[in-house]
Structure 1
Amino acid sequence: MTAVVLHPRDLAGCEHRLSLDQSHPDLVRARPDTPEARRRKDAAADHRAGVREMVRGLHSDQPAGTVVLIDPDADHATRVAATLAACADAADWIWNATLPTDRDHGRRGHAELLIRDGGGYVPVIVVNHRVSYRAKPDRRPNGVLNTAGNGTLTSPVWTWAPTPDPTRNGRNQRRDQLRLAQLTVMLLDLRLATSDVPEELRAGVIGLDADCIVVHEMAALLEDYRAVFDRRMAIAQGHIATTPRRIGECRGCPWWTRCGPELEERRDVSLVVGGNQSAALFDAGITTIDQLAHYRGDAPDDWPGNVRFDDAVLNAIAWLTDTPLIRRLAEPHVARADIEVDVDMESYGEHGAYMWGTLLTDNTDPSREVRYRAFVTWQPLPTPDEGRSFGEFWTWLNEERAAAHAAGKTFAAYCYSQQAENRWLLSSATRFPDAAGMPARAEVEAFIASDEWVDIYEAVGRNFVCPNGKGLKRVAPVAGFTWRDAEASGEASMDWYREAVGLGGSTPDLTQRQRLLEYNEDDVRATKVLREWIDGRAKDEVPHEDQVLEFRNR
């Protein structure tokens, strides 16, 4: 019997974190959630509760026992017993199914749903991210929809009936797939699976939209799972040693206070490059920041093709010399106009965009006030009032744009990282077509594609190497901007929003509404300060990369 039991979450992500978690279980149990982790858990719990009520409602007209809800507040043993009893009674849908811990093999797991199919059960998990997206229409020259080659399987949320779905493409996440594989193996061992033939096994995921079940064929996933599980078990048992290396998930990891100083002490190269880049450098024998900073020669054989190798060398030098920004060009440049509008959108997770903040600058009329305007709804998302606030924003923006054109003036609107803004620009036009002032989607697409919509994030990447990251709150301070709120961040704004609109039944906090307005205003003012600085003082205040690379001559 093994003393180690792995949860599906142990199978993905940082191997060193798994090793530390297993080596220090008391610290793990006593460790409180970070605010970010708590927000994620709360949002996921709200989503699961919504799906649970949807499932119950869809089967409310069916005989008692069709849907069995396992009490989530019961202890583990009680939930396991209730799950096995529901399986023995051949319940069609079992919510919050908890499987018995397999201590012989070291596995534990639960599924938000077990759905009966034939003589066994299919595991279905509910996750708070998107698991599919609408496929772009693929039409033959004769206008007929071409669905050839689309292998995405989906099932309606009210039954288990997997069929090829030409309207969707799956968005597979490895963490989800490994969880489904572990649940499938546990069902096989309990003789509760739908088949003992791997090619006949399937599992499902209900994502954020909760409008279908994305179906996974399990045969290939089970092969991958077994290799991953064996390695992770060996790590957890101490048979394979691990060492820290900085990766994306380090930002929110509670062990970073331990790993970070260790990496800095050995000046680990992963502190200045991404995960794939650090792996290529390690394979080439470049393990420290100092080695990389003094390196001359070609990039390693496995260097990612989408990353300029000189940027990695510059990042290493910047770390050693405490250089916050490095100029790529002799003359940094960003598009400018007579009438300039900085735009920043605030959204609440996947529920919608509740605020569009703007700052208009008329460079032809110094007497015209540089004024902040916010178009906002304080009705809790999701709400049709989101369409009203967006329609007002779009109407105002296009009136200013049209007035500039009529006066023979140039116009530009700016955002920081248009990926987020574009998503809600397009989504708003699609979801609220009847709202006053709402443009057609084609009109929004034309605006996004025009030269009058400028992404300052992209401009920063063209003009500079950013050793500390390209986020607005990383780069704007170099240009001299400071946020009024010391806690300002996208993550913190999620908590402020919950309080501002009274989510969870609380009384709306008007002070948090003002806090959000000031945070949004600072974001648009930071964008203005940054782009004007790029077009002005940056050439004199930021060293050129050729100057920085001279470090190698020391």
Structure 2
Amino acid sequence: MGSAILGARNLTGCEHRLALDFAPAEDASRTPESAEANRRIEAAQAHRRQVIDLLRGFQSDRETGAAVLVDDPDHRGRVGATRAAMDAGAEWILQATLPTDTERGRRGHAEALVRQGGGYVPIIIVNHRVTTVIAEPRLDETPALQTSPLFGWHPEPDPTRSFRSQRRDVMRLAQLAAMLDDLGRLHAPRTEAVGGLIGLDADCVVVVPLGEIADEYDESFARRRAIAEGTVATAPRKVSECRSCHWWPQCEARLIQQRDVSLVVGGNQGRILRDAGIVTIDKLADYRGREPDEWVGSTKFADTVVSAKSWVRGIPLVRRRDRPRVHRADIEVDVDMESFSERGAYLWGTLLTDNTDPERPVVYRPFVTWDPLPTRDEGRSFAAFWAWLMTERNAAHEADKTFAAYCYSQHAENRWLRGSADRFGDLPGVPSRKTVDAFIASTEWVDVFEAVGDNFVCPKGKGLKRIAPVAGFNWRDDEAGGEASMEWYAAAVALDGADLDLTQRDRLLEYNEDDVRATKVLREWIAGDDVLVLPLADDLLAENFRSVAEEVEWR
């Protein structure tokens, strides 16, 4: 393949994707980038432009040449302008582009370079949150994190935040540090170097130590360059990244043809199986030996065997117990939240069922803001949702009725429940973080996703879109899904320059209503009799044991 030159995108993620990205065109075929992927790219670019304008504004009163914006449309011109600014000793270089290193195989650009001593600190801007606010910081402890204000490089210990580290950000900074070091422009020896990271909130620069990962970066870069050049072979494996990868249709077809075990078992567990010679789903389905000694992870080995047998036979779900169970109540409220990236939660959809009064209609109620996120109006809509939910809860208690609110995978809902309380606590009706935490910890907040995992082995995943159809529910919109809803939302509020399309608001409300109705249908199905037609996991496992002794040994 020749000498490969790697950029930031090539430093992390699936190694097989990297190999395909660098493969000759005749050796691989890819699908076009999805509209959602393009939207993420455009949103990230818009965020970077906004923050660069902010940084430039902070330096606007400096003498000429102290802060340089590199805006040449040509790559070679940008490299030349960046070199000239460094040679002139500019304090800030915005939109800096470093010269492509064809010998070492590196290319890179930094949203900013800030001078420190005789060199520069690289700073990058990303479109996700990079810190978490610490609700009650321990002022008597030395914080591990340092931050700097945006107007200048003044790192100080920050006890109010913790770092939300993402490997791709750290590796990109490590590559920029390596490139600056090769140019003799790094602010410190690589073993002592740091970088800067500005996230979605753009309220500080996070100081990222790079010296401690320099060796890891060098080793990882060497392997990835070898993969890109074709000297290290890779093979497809199903991983979480596959769901948004443009190569997935090609990889999926190959994995299905090979009946690869990664289709039902991922991560380190898949590696352990392959090391044990269990490379196909069929071999796993027929496995009769002991659990591998190195088995790790939350998924039980027996569950992987059940998943494999289910995949082979086309069984969508398998019961763990004779009678599945899920928490029920007199008054039940299904809840589904819609958010946009990390900008906020714009919609809280609800569906109330009164099991004590069959005459009371089951009505979908949305609490929504159509002001483009981020917006303070998000706090107003959240306060309205919370007030309604607590009113129904209190009314149930006063009537001596039980109450439960349900969501599907509380990780997302809990994040925005807490985040809304933290960000909008000064608005009328917004509960305190303590109040929200108490509700989340109560038995009246039920995660149906957890109930599914507790009751079933799910060979093709536990997502609501996969499980609810087994219970008989189908979405009205054939394109319904998380990625599609991002596109709809962008059009619904004309986000980041998108064309305004008010019909997408109705589409989003219908999608959200279907999500809460799907949750209701699913949990009622779990508690009903129709679920009993599914096979039992123990019955499937029993087929693999030649004697009671083997089964006991397995257990």
Q: What's the TM-score, normalizing by structure 2?
A: 0.94
Query: Aligned partners of 1:481 and 1:535: how far apart in 2?
Result: 15
Deviations 1:30-64 (A, max 9, x none): 96322231122122112212211221222223223
Contact 2:29-2:250 within 8 A present in 1 as well:
no
Distance verdict in 2 for CA 1:507–1:5, change over 3 Å? closer
Match of 2:285 among 289, 293, 300: 293
Deviations 1:224-250 (A, max 9, x none): 111111112222222222222221112
Contact 2:36-2:487 within 8 A present in 1 as well:
no
Report deviation, 1:489: 0.5
3-state SS in 2 of match to 1:94: strand
Q: In structure 2, what is the equivalent of residue 457 of structure 1?
A: 449
Q: In structure 2, what is the equivalent of residue 86 of structure 1?
A: 85
Q: Say yes or no: does 1:162 pair with 2:161.
A: no
1:245-324 equivalences under 5 Å are: 245-324=237-316
Query: Aligned partners of 1:327 and 1:179: how far apart in 2?
Result: 45
Contact 2:15-2:224 within 8 A present in 1 as well:
yes
3-state SS in 2 of match to 1:552: coil
Contact 2:345-2:416 within 8 A present in 1 as well:
yes
3-state SS in 2 of match to 1:111: strand
Distance verdict in 2 for CA 1:317–1:100, change over 3 Å? same
Distance verdict in 2 for CA 1:240–1:505, change over 3 Å? closer
Deviations 1:158-180 (A, max 9, x none): 22122332222222222222211
Query: Aligned partners of 1:31 and 1:113: how far apart in 2?
Result: 34
Contact 1:2-1:105 within 8 A present in 2 as well:
no
Distance verdict in 2 for CA 1:395–1:115, change over 3 Å? same
Contact 1:353-1:386 within 8 A present in 2 as well:
yes
Contact 1:391-1:437 within 8 A present in 2 as well:
yes
In the alignment, structure 1 segments of 5+ residues that lack a partner are 140-144
Match of 1:512 among 499, 504, 513: 504
Code of the aligned partner of 1:247? V
Distance verdict in 2 for CA 1:103–1:506, change over 3 Å? closer
Q: In structure 2, what is the equivalent of residue 11 of structure 1?
A: 11
RMSD of aligned Cα (Å):
2.1
Aligned length: 546
Contact 2:178-2:190 within 8 A present in 1 as well:
no
Deviations 1:422-449 (A, max 9, x none): 1111222222224332222222221111
Q: Say yes or no: does 1:177 pair with 2:170.
A: yes
Q: In structure 1, what is the equivalent of residue 35 of structure 2?
A: 35
Match of 1:358 among 326, 341, 350: 350
Q: Say yes or no: does 1:191 pair with 2:184.
A: yes
Contact 2:379-2:424 within 8 A present in 1 as well:
yes
3-state SS in 1 of match to 2:364: strand
Sequence identity (%)? 59
Query: Aligned partners of 2:498 and 2:120: how far apart in 1?
Result: 40
3-state SS in 2 of match to 1:486: coil
Contact 1:416-1:457 within 8 A present in 2 as well:
yes
3-state SS in 2 of match to 1:360: strand
Q: In structure 2, what is the equivalent of residue 126 of structure 1?
A: 125
3-state SS in 2 of match to 1:3: coil
3-state SS in 1 of match to 2:242: helix
Q: In structure 2, what is the equivalent of residue 100 of structure 1?
A: 99
Match of 1:394 among 369, 382, 386: 386
Query: Aligned partners of 1:260 and 1:475: how far apart in 2?
Result: 21
Distance verdict in 2 for CA 1:538–1:52, change over 3 Å? farther
Query: Aligned partners of 2:50 and 2:315: how far apart in 1?
Result: 48
Distance verdict in 2 for CA 1:361–1:256, change over 3 Å? same
Contact 1:332-1:538 within 8 A present in 2 as well:
no
Query: Aligned partners of 1:385 and 1:264: how far apart in 2?
Result: 47
Q: Say yes or no: does 1:113 pair with 2:112.
A: yes
Q: In structure 2, what is the equivalent of residue 22 of structure 1?
A: 22
Contact 1:327-1:464 within 8 A present in 2 as well:
yes
Deviates more, 1:480-489 or 1:153-162: 153-162
Deviates more, 1:27-36 or 1:326-335: 27-36
Contact 1:280-1:301 within 8 A present in 2 as well:
no
Q: In structure 2, what is the equivalent of residue 202 of structure 1?
A: 194
Contact 2:66-2:91 within 8 A present in 1 as well:
yes
Query: Aligned partners of 1:436 and 1:508: how far apart in 2?
Result: 31
Query: Aligned partners of 1:287 and 1:163: how far apart in 2?
Result: 51
Q: In structure 2, what is the equivalent of residue 65 of structure 1?
A: 65
Distance verdict in 2 for CA 1:262–1:120, change over 3 Å? same
Q: Say yes or no: does 1:47 pair with 2:44.
A: no
Query: Aligned partners of 1:507 and 1:98: how far apart in 2?
Result: 32
Q: In structure 2, what is the equivalent of residue 146 of structure 1?
A: 140
Query: Aligned partners of 1:20 and 1:353: how far apart in 2?
Result: 36
Distance verdict in 2 for CA 1:384–1:198, change over 3 Å? closer
Query: Aligned partners of 1:217 and 1:505: how far apart in 2?
Result: 36
Q: In structure 2, what is the equivalent of residue 142 of structure 1?
A: none
In the alignment, structure 2 segments of 5+ residues that lack a partner are 547-555
Contact 1:152-1:165 within 8 A present in 2 as well:
yes
3-state SS in 2 of match to 1:435: coil
Query: Aligned partners of 1:349 and 1:534: how far apart in 2?
Result: 31
Contact 2:79-2:99 within 8 A present in 1 as well:
yes
Q: What's the TM-score, normalizing by structure 1?
A: 0.94
Query: Aligned partners of 1:242 and 1:396: how far apart in 2?
Result: 54
Report deviation, 1:11: 2.0
Code of the aligned partner of 1:391? A
Report deviation, 1:550: 4.1
Code of the aligned partner of 2:354? D
Contact 1:153-1:164 within 8 A present in 2 as well:
yes
Deviates more, 1:498-507 or 1:525-534: 498-507
Q: In structure 2, what is the equivalent of residue 478 of structure 1?
A: 470
Query: Aligned partners of 1:548 and 1:29: how far apart in 2?
Result: 39
Query: Aligned partners of 1:134 and 1:436: how far apart in 2?
Result: 22
